[in-house]
Amino acid sequence: MSRTNREIVQALRGVLAERGVISDSSDLSNRLVLYYANKSRSAVLKSKIEDKRSRVSHFNKQTIPCIPMEKIDINECPCAPPSGCFFYRSVIPIPNPLTRYLEVDNIIGNKNIAFLEWGEFRNKLNSRMNAERTDPYWTIRTMNGKTYLYLYNYPEKFVTVTSVWEDPLEVQLYPDCAGNVDPCKQYLDLEFIIDDAFVPLVIEASYRMLVERVKEGDSTINQKDDTTKQIVPAK
C-alpha cells in the first residue's frame, strides 16, 4: 500500500500530539517533519541493505527513466591535454544512491551494463583481454558535492537508472529528457517510497529525532529546517 508524504507527515504529527510532545495547534512545519522522515527512511534502509540477513525489496527502489548523457574526454581537468579516450557523462548530476549498486540500462531496457570502480578503469583500458577493453561499463564519481554517472564503451544519449536512493524526492523531481521539471508536482502529494514493513521503524525513528529537535527549543523551527535540498516548497 503506497503512502504519500502528506500521510507520513500527518502520522508523525499524530504520534507527537498523542505523546504530548506538541499540541494539535503546533506550528511545526511540514517541511521539517518530512525532512526527518526522509532522514529516518535513509537510515532504516541503509541498515537493512548492510545487514546480510535482511532483504530490501523492489518497493524501495525508484527508476530515473531518462538521463541525458554527453561525450567528454576521460581527462576532465581543463588544464590538462586531451587523452583521446572518451566517456559519456550525465548532463545533470544524479541523486545520491544509498548503495553503489545501481541498475543501469538503455531506455528500452535490453542492455545491462557492468559496474566498475573509477580507479579500475586504467587496468581495464590496458587489459590484454579484448573483451575487457571493449565491454561497456558504468561508474559514478562525486566532485564538488555533485555525483555524476559515467558510461564507457556505451555511446548512448539517454540511459535509465534504478536504485535505492538517499532522497526519493530528488528522483521524483528529477528533470525529464529535455531538462524540464513538472511545475505542478507538489512533494507532499508524492509517494513516500518505503516498503510497508519498514513504515513503523521510520515513524519511530523520526519521532525520536523530532523529540530531540523540540527539546532543543529551536525558535526558528519553521525557518531553518534544513530542507534546502527540496526543490518544490511544501503547501
Cell representation of residue 2: 503506497
Task: Write the pLDDT tens digit of every residue in 79-138.
Answer: 444 556 778 999 999 999 988 777 888 766 556 678 888 888 777 777 888 877 778 888
Q: How confident is the model over 44-73, as a mean pLDDT?
A: 89
Report pLDDT for 95: 93
- Cβ contacts of 179 within 8 Å, gap of 6 or more: 68, 91, 92
Task: Please give the Cα distance from 123 to 114 (Å, whole number).
Answer: 15
Q: What is residue 139's three-state secondary structure? A: strand
User: Per-residue b/e over 103-141, b at no fewer than 16 CB within 10 Å?
Assistant: ebbbeeeeeebeebeeeebeebeeeeeeeeeebbbbbbe
Cβ neighbours for 76, distance < 8 A, ≥ 6 positions apart: none
Alpha helix segments (H runs only) across 2-79: 5-18, 30-50
Sign of CA dihedral 33, 35, 38, 40: negative
17-32 residue pLDDT tens: 888 888 766 667 899 9
Q: Are 21 and 210 in contact (CB under 8 A)?
A: yes
Q: Is 49 helix (H, G, I), strand (E, B) or coil?
A: helix
**Residues 213-235: pLDDT tens digits?**
887 765 344 444 444 344 333 33
Kindly give, in sequence order, each residue whose CB lies less than 8 Å from that of residue 226, ignoring residues fewer than 6 positions away.
Answer: 32, 35
Query: What are the residue ranges spanned by the domains of the chain?
Result: 3-58+186-215, 62-163
Q: Is 15 a residue whose pLDDT tops 50?
A: yes
